[in-house]
Amino acid sequence: MTQRQLTFAANWKMNHGPAETRAFAERFLALTTPVEGRRLWFFPAAVSIGPMSEAMKSRADVEIGAQNVHWEPKGAYTGGISIPMVTEVGARLTLVGHSERRHLFGETDEQVARKTRAALAAGITPLVCVGETLAERDGGRTEPVILRQTGAVLAALPATDWDRVVLAYEPVWAIGTGKNATPDDAAQVHELIRMALSRNGISARVPILYGGSVNPENVASLLTRPQLDGVLVGGASLTPEGWAEVIDRGSKAKVCPSGGYDLIEG
Ligand code: PGA
């Protein structure tokens, strides 16, 4: 039996170059201490992965990831960045299929599956994002969309590989809009994903994070839901003080009376 760890993941998107990243790291290190069973993930811009990895060297609870990678290790892909390149500067994780990649850059389910496979083959953890748009939700299509996006990854990986995959449910209508899903909305979709995994013989070990306008005010009510194993946060992760507060409030919401975090055993 392993317990899923509580995960706080910061997606900085196209913010914080190397100098701002170093300044963030210095302040953040002073504001937080490692806690057993809790991991802190950062996804800086590609040029800031190295500086952030370097700055966080002393912290075993912190890991750094890329926001996007190509599935090929090298080649004629202008503007692309490969997994060996990001691992060379310290990345141990990568986001895959973030909604901004899917909807602004036309990333397909098939490409998401290829990137996930490539990340696993290279030994880094993919954090695969799924989520429906507002039109899909309003049209009652949340369930088929989530099942299609999850299914594309399920079809691409053997069950044993899922030990190293992390998922994030991020409703597109909640990202950067200030409109977060209610804890009920989020828990319901997390259950749907969990069901799809277990129907495919995937154990309950895969952590599922929630993302979309998470902030210090709403993080506790979201994380009190046992279906949520952590959060993936954009805007509210950009200042060290704000992000440390999200982590602190969210962590307190998950502590169970017997100590440790109140997560489902898998
Ligand atoms: P947000 O972004 O917290 O700014 O809504 C979340 C994400 O896109 O991962």
190 is written with which tokens? 């997390």
Strands (E), 107-157: 125-130
Q: Check residue 158 and report its DSSP letter.
A: -
Q: Is 10 in the pocket of ligand 1 (CB under 6 A)?
A: no
153 and 113 Cβ atoms separated by less than 8 Å:
yes
Q: Which of 16, 98, 100, 190 is catalytic?
A: 98
How close is the Cα of 243 to the center of ligand 1, in Å? 13
Return the percent helix, strand and coil in the chain, to nearest 5. 45, 15, 40
How close is the Cα of 110 to the center of ligand 1, in Å? 23
* Tokens 């913010």 belong to residue: 15
Ligand 1 atom nearest residue 129's Cα: 9
Please indicate whether residue 170 is annotated as part of the active site: yes
d(CA 71, CA 113): 9
For 17, list phi and psi in degrees, rounded to 5.
-75, -175
pLDDT in tens, the chain (266 residues): 456 899 999 999 999 999 999 999 999 999 999 999 999 999 999 999 999 999 999 999 999 999 999 999 999 999 999 999 999 999 999 999 999 999 999 999 999 999 999 999 999 999 999 999 999 999 999 999 999 999 999 999 999 999 999 999 999 998 888 888 899 999 999 999 999 999 998 877 899 999 999 999 999 999 999 999 999 999 999 999 999 999 999 999 988 777 777 766 55
The protein residue whose alpha carbon is closest to atom 1 in ligand 1 is 234
Please indicate whether residue 98 is annotated as part of the active site: yes
97 is written with which tokens? 């299929």
Ligand 1 atom nearest residue 13's Cα: 8
Sign of the dihedral defined by the CA atoms of residues 102, 180, 146, 68, in that order:
positive
d(CA 164, CA 39): 15
How close is the Cα of 179 to the center of ligand 1, in Å? 11
In the three-class reduction of DSSP (H, G, I as helix; E, B as strand; rest coil), residue 260 is classed as coil
Sign of the dihedral defined by the CA atoms of residues 193, 196, 202, 203, in that order:
positive
* Tokens 């790291």 belong to residue: 25
Phi-psi region of 180 (alpha: psi -120 to 50; beta: other; left: phi over 0): beta
Of the candidates 140, 171, 204, the residue with the CA atom closest to the CA atom of residue 1: 204
d(CA 136, CA 41): 30
User: To test the ligand 1 pocket, which listed residue (133, 214, 246) has its Cβ within 8 A of the most ligand atoms?
Assistant: 214
Strands (E), 58-119: 62-66, 93-96
The protein residue whose alpha carbon is closest to atom 6 in ligand 1 is 234
How close is the Cα of 237 to the center of ligand 1, in Å? 9
| Element of type H or E holding 43 | strand 38-43
The protein residue whose alpha carbon is closest to atom 2 in ligand 1 is 234
How close is the Cα of 75 to the center of ligand 1, in Å? 31
* Tokens 């369930």 belong to residue: 143
